[in-house]
Amino acid sequence: MGGAVSAGEDNDDLIDNLKEAQYIRTEKVEQAFRAIDRGDYYLDGYRDNAYKDLAWKHGNIHLSAPCIYSEVMEALKLQPGLSFLNLGSGTGYLSTMVGLIIGPFGVNHGVELHTDVVEYAREKLEDFIKNSDSFDKFEFCEPVFVVGNCLEISADSHQYDRIYCGAGVQKDHENYMKVLLKIGGILVMPIEDQLTQITRTGQCSWESKNILAVSFAPLVQQSRADGEKPDTVELPSLTVRSLQDLSRVYIRRTLRDLDSEDSAGKEAVQRVPQKRKRRRCQRRRINTYVFVGNQLIPQMVESEEEEHVEEEQKEVEDEEEERDIGDIEILKQANMLRDQIMALPLPESLKAYLLFYREK
């Protein structure tokens, strides 16, 4: 599933294409997508495919197409402080983006069937926290992943504000998913080949809306011998942050706010010449059929629309040769949070804690 937008040269280019195609429609979703490089979740040797609008699978590791994740993120209507459950959390790519929006006072849990995929997700999460330049620019709710079949979640488990299921849900499992949702919450899942948004409006009432036609592999049902008890999945507990952790959150927030105030008095944007990005144009052909005797023969015919697009592309290229377009480009500012923390009159061990033990 995918291929709805043109391939990008890098992560930012991919996000530009998703915005242009109206898959990404809100600023907070755009910021989350730009902060997490999709290519970082690919295995070595496969990164060249990371910025295509296509799903990717290698063994048990799987990533949905970017256009699907975009629609999911928009449909969840995420806000700071919400609780989120990802059923079939996979590589943790989506859960990490969600964590950037719901912030340190949210809840971010994931259930994944395959142990090797959970280990992979934890490695990618650690790499993001330790090495990503984006980490210090957000307040983050770290995902917690557990191994298990999401159809075997304990009946007395707590409910969530937002839920996403990343596998095809059978109609007879729909109610099972709904009871995990708080009143007022939103569940997004593929059901009967439609990505569907379900809002719980009351104790026994829901509203459904189809978002996008999709094709997902179905949920795996746990096989067991007659009389054998299922392996019940215990979701992570809801814990209260320690005073030490809260102090770190607020110190980092205060320093970040101070840096923003200082930057407000300085020139934050510059007008720079920027060449217009050329639209990628694929040649379109129409399949037609003609009768030759008693046989129906397929024939490829160029469409008039193709000729029109090619003429339009030539005009754009001619304009680019004549002039550059001056656009307002927001320059990426150096992240000063680390320097501010290192300048504090604190023991080195405490500075390291405030930096989440990041080395850069």
Cite the active site residues.
64
Residue among 5, 61, 58, 60 nearest 33 (CA): 5
CA angle 351, 356, 360 (to 5 degrees): 80
SS3 333: coil
**CA quadruple 51, 54, 58, 63: dihedral sign:** positive
Q: Which residues pair with 200 in a beta bridge?
A: 206
Rounded to whole angstroms, the Cα distance separating 185 from 194 reads 19
Instruction: Give the Cα separation of 165 and 189 in Å (integer).
Output: 5
- Residues sharing a CB contact under 8 Å with residue 83, sequence separation 6 or more, in sequence order: 102, 106, 107, 108, 109, 160, 161, 162, 182, 238
> Are the C-beta atoms of 82 and 162 separated by less than 8 Å?
yes
